[in-house]
Structures are given as structure tokens and as C-alpha cells.
């Protein structure tokens, strides 16, 4: 924020923060029964018939693991304009 603040600059930064918070509200968590590698920040496309969440998302967090049932991946996805 500039040293000399005006109403417009304060309003702009406030609006920016509100927009960023709104973008973080829309999240989808997907768990897959196989390893899937995506780096945080990469775009991921979901396609599944009969499911209302199809589309492009940005990977916010990705966890790949293995347990007694085998390998799995958990993706925390956000809107494409989300910046991690």
C-alpha cells in the first residue's frame, strides 16, 4: 500500500481481499484410488458423467499416499483464478 493512502487505494485493496476470500470459498476435495501427480498451481480438469462438478480447477493442495488398501491421491481443488 502506498505511503499516502487515499480512499480509492484503500477501497481497492479491500475489494481485492474480498475477491480473494470469495475465490477460496469454492473448493472441491477429490480422493482417487490411484496415484495422481499434480503440482500445486497446476490446472486439473474433472470429467465424470452424472456429476455436477465437471470443469477446470486449480490444484491448491495435492497429497499422494499409500496405506494397507493401496495407493491413493487427495486433491484440494479451487477455481481456476485461485492463486496458491
Tens-of-pLDDT digits for all 84 residues of the chain?
A: 455 555 555 555 677 677 666 666 678 899 999 999 899 999 999 998 888 889 999 999 999 999 998 999 999 999 888 876
Please tell me the distance from the alpha carbon of residue 5 to that of residue 37, in angstroms, as a whole number: 44
Q: Give the other-Cβ count within 10 Å of 3's Cβ.
A: 4
Where are the domains positioned within the chain? 26-78
Q: Is residue 55 classed as helix, strand or coil in its secondary structure?
A: strand
- Strands 70-78, 43-46: parallel, antiparallel or unpaired by DSSP? unpaired
Amino acid at each position: 500500500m502506498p505511503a499516502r493512502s487515499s480512499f480509492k487505494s484503500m477501497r481497492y485493496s479491500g475489494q481485492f481481499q474480498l475477491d480473494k476470500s470469495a475465490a477460496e470459498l469454492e473448493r472441491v476435495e477429490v480422493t482417487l484410488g490411484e496415484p495422481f501427480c499434480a503440482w500445486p498451481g497446476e490446472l486439473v480438469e474433472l470429467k465424470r458423467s452424472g456429476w455436477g462438478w465437471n470443469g477446470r480447477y486449480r490444484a491448491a493442495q495435492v497429497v499422494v499416499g499409500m496405506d494397507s488398501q493401496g495407493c491413493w491421491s487427495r486433491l484440494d481443488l479451487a477455481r481456476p483464478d485461485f492463486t496458491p
